């Protein structure tokens, strides 16, 4: 079973307001992310909360998600949120789909393609790729969870992926949305202007 870990614990310093809660279409940024995972029929969705825990839980009330809180969210390290999320996954999970909570452009067909490839290659690291650039969401197999949970600063997730680069299986996609997230008001306004 593949479970999605939605990393939504950030402080949104550059945005200036909680970006996960910003309007996106008929929902919020994080609501759009969860909606795409639901549309792709991901069986387990776990949202890692931080700075605006209660507001996030309220925004996603009624959705089939579970929450886990990252108590160290203030350090701004995405790696810690990933580690907290991995620790909260049920034993039946064979892989974690690592999802950015500020990537509302995420498309269900990309999620399906990445998960399908993981199903065809059990135990593989699987990443979407657009024009030779890798993005999110990506699959972290259970066999590597302990290694990720053992990472300590100054090492990062990027270092981990670099170390395992030769074994990554890439899923080529025809959309740049796998590379997009929202960090600044300008990025948000530009994305909303494109018809969020």
Q: What is the pLDDT of residues 163-178, one digit of tens each?
A: 999 999 999 999 999 9
What is the maximal distance between C-alpha atoms in the chain?
Answer: 42
Q: Helix, strand, or coil here: 53?
A: helix
CB-CB neighbours of 20 under 10 Å: 30
CATH of 2-181, one of 3.30.360.10, 3.40.50.720, 3.90.550.10, 3.40.1030.10: 3.90.550.10
Identify the CA nearest to 183 among candidates 53, 12, 7: 12
Q: Helix, strand, or coil here: 129?
A: strand
Q: Domain ranges for the chain, please list them.
A: 2-181
Q: Is the pLDDT of residue 196 over 70?
A: no
Q: Cβ distance 63 to 47 under 8 Å?
A: no
Q: What is the pLDDT of residues 62-92, one digit of tens each?
A: 999 999 999 999 887 899 999 999 999 999 9
């Amino acid at each position: 079973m593949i479970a999605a870990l939605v990393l939504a614990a950030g402080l949104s310093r550059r945005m200036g307001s909680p970006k996960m809660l910003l309007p996106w279409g008929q929902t919020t940024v994080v609501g759009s992310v969860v909606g795409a995972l639901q549309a792709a029929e991901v069986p387990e969705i776990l949202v890692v909360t931080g700075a605006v825990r209660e507001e996030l839980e309220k925004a996603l009330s009624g959705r089939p998600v579970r929450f886990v809180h990252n108590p160290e969210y203030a350090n701004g390290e995405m790696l810690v949120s990933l580690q907290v999320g991995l620790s909260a996954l049920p034993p039946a999970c064979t892989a974690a789909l690592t999802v950015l909570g500020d990537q509302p452009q995420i498309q269900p067909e990309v999620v399906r393609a990445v998960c399908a490839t993981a199903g065809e290659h059990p135990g593989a690291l699987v990443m979407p790729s657009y024009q030779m650039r890798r993005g999110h969401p990506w699959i972290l197999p259970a066999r590597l969870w302990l290694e990720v949970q053992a990472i300590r600063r100054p090492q990062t997730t990027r270092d981990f992926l670099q170390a395992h680069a030769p074994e990554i299986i890439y899923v080529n996609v025809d959309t740049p949305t796998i590379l997009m997230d929202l960090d600044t008001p300008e990025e948000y306004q530009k994305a909303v202007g494109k018809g969020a």
